[in-house]
Amino acid sequence: MLRLTGQGVAHTCDGVTRRDFLEVGSLGAIGLSLTEMLAAEQAFAATEAGKSADKRSCIMIFNLGAPSQLDTFDMKPDAPAEVRGPFKPISTRSSEIQISEILPRHAEVADKFSLVRSCYHTAAAVHDAGWQMMQTGRQFTGGINYPHAGAVLSYLKGRRSDLPPFVVLPQLMGRGGGNLPNGQAGGFLGKAHDPFSLMADPSQPDFKVPNLLPPSEIGEARLDRRKRLRTIVDETVAQFEASDDARLLNENFQAAYRLMTSPQARSAFDLSLEPNHVRERYGMTRFGQCCLLARRLIEAGVRFVTINTFLTVFDEITWDIHGSKPFTSIAGMKDIVAPLYDRGYAALIEDLDQRGMLEETLVCNLAEFGRTPKVNPAGGRDHWPQCFTVYFAGGGVQGGRVIGRSDAIGAVPAERPAPPSDVVGTIFHSLGLDPKIELPGPGKRPFPLIEFGAAPIRELF
């Protein structure tokens, strides 16, 4: 360990500052060559970047139903009418980015996010296949249920507070039509790393958190007595306690107990503590209030929050714009879906930025696929996994950029193709996870954190 003393104290490994390096008048006086000096500065920068990444959290907004890239973030104004659709591109706060006129609030924060217009996957064009791939980085094959990125972070980093490390708002995805896992679970890492699911609509006046607050007739003292009794009983069954099932049962009990008795947890979920003007800024919609709740949970110590913009493609209007009933058209997307989404997202980014939280919070907006390059006869667009747009803000990402490019009609990547493994690898990179980490896979065999050949989209950083 090298220590330098003078005007102030500088020390490598545990905190040498760049200023101290630069204030050393002569490299030779301390026995450092220029090469060694540069190497030391690079090591310092890497260490500081690692420390920053370790503090980071993630909010994943999953655009269930799949937005049309051609009508939102990858417009083709010079393409034929059946390709370009009805909307016009508008300028934004970034000179590099133009987006659709249906997302005016996004335009105001475009200097904070960067687009990846060349995402694609090779799975079937069914919703749940894409859900699984985009949230785990892998295709569901061989009966292996892969863990969500948030479950991986839960396994590797654990909890920071009484709150769970991984939360899904407002609840887990419903059916997708393909009878496949939706990718929002602990997978082979085990149920201990499944997310806490809110199972409620935070925009409703009577909103409270089911399964979090104890029934009114059960006070904390009674809960504490139950906990002590459980400890006594557990001590009498040592053989069972040594089993994996018992450890999981105890971990789950302890987690539930912390949630039910923690003032911090109650406060984090209590949206009534927010001023009305803040709630209204996000929009009094389910998605808008989930965005606000996500900010509160990240502030309170949750590591990973996933927000499902919608819950299923069958029972509500979503980004799934096939055109014919029960779905909506491209025009319907403008009137119903885009306004609530645009408002909630922009408010979240502005709020995180104003609170000084954006650098330590990665916000990634994903979807299961894109939409067909040509408008169909019903005035909508159908499923298209061959090319779509995702985007990132915060968490070390440099805003206002466009990474990758699609072809002239938004059908396939023309530059920097980005498969799901690269997208999830980018999340892990922002969170400071070493890609060489191995997870205990099926049968407890070592399993790589990301697929072989996958790489973070480093152009974002």
Tens digit of each residue's pLDDT, the chain (461 residues): 433 333 444 444 444 444 443 443 434 444 445 444 444 444 444 445 555 677 999 999 999 999 999 999 999 999 999 999 999 999 999 999 999 999 999 999 999 999 999 999 999 999 999 999 999 999 998 889 999 999 999 999 999 999 999 999 999 999 888 889 999 999 999 999 999 999 999 999 989 876 665 545 455 555 566 566 666 656 655 555 555 555 555 565 566 666 666 888 899 999 999 999 999 999 999 999 999 999 999 999 999 999 999 999 998 999 999 999 999 999 999 999 999 999 999 999 999 999 999 999 999 999 999 999 999 999 999 999 999 999 999 999 999 999 999 999 999 999 999 999 999 999 999 999 999 999 999 988 999 999 988 999 999 99
Q: Name which of 174, 169, 168, 167 is nearest 128 in CA terms.
A: 174
Place of tokens 């220590």: 3
In a domain, 303, yes or no: yes
In a domain, 313, yes or no: yes
Q: What is the pTM of this model?
A: 0.83
CB count, 10 Å around CB of 26?
A: 7
d(CA 286, CA 171): 11
Residues 13 and 129 in one domain: no
CATH number where 132 lies: 3.40.720.10
In a domain, 16, yes or no: yes
Residues 424 and 404 in one domain: yes
In a domain, 75, yes or no: yes
The amino acid at 46? A
Residues 35 and 67 in one domain: no
Residues 420 and 312 in one domain: yes
In a domain, 230, yes or no: no
Residues 141 and 265 in one domain: yes
Residues 10 and 115 in one domain: no
Residues 13 and 126 in one domain: no
Residues 137 and 21 in one domain: no
Burial label, 175 (beta-carbon count in 10 A; 0-12, 13-18, 19+): middle
Q: What residues make up the domain containing 87?
A: 58-216+249-460
- Write the DSSP assignment of 170-197 as a string of letters: S------SS----S-S-GGG-GGGSPEE
In the chain, the number of structural domains is 2
Question: What is the β-pairing status of strands 113-119 and 388-393?
Answer: antiparallel
Residues 81 and 41 in one domain: no
Residues 162 and 20 in one domain: no
In a domain, 242, yes or no: no
Residues 41 and 125 in one domain: no
d(CA 191, CA 271): 28
In a domain, 228, yes or no: no
d(CA 352, CA 456): 24
In a domain, 239, yes or no: no
- Write the DSSP assignment of 142-172 as a string of letters: TT--PPPHHHHHHHHH--SSSS-SEEEES--
Residues 159 and 24 in one domain: no
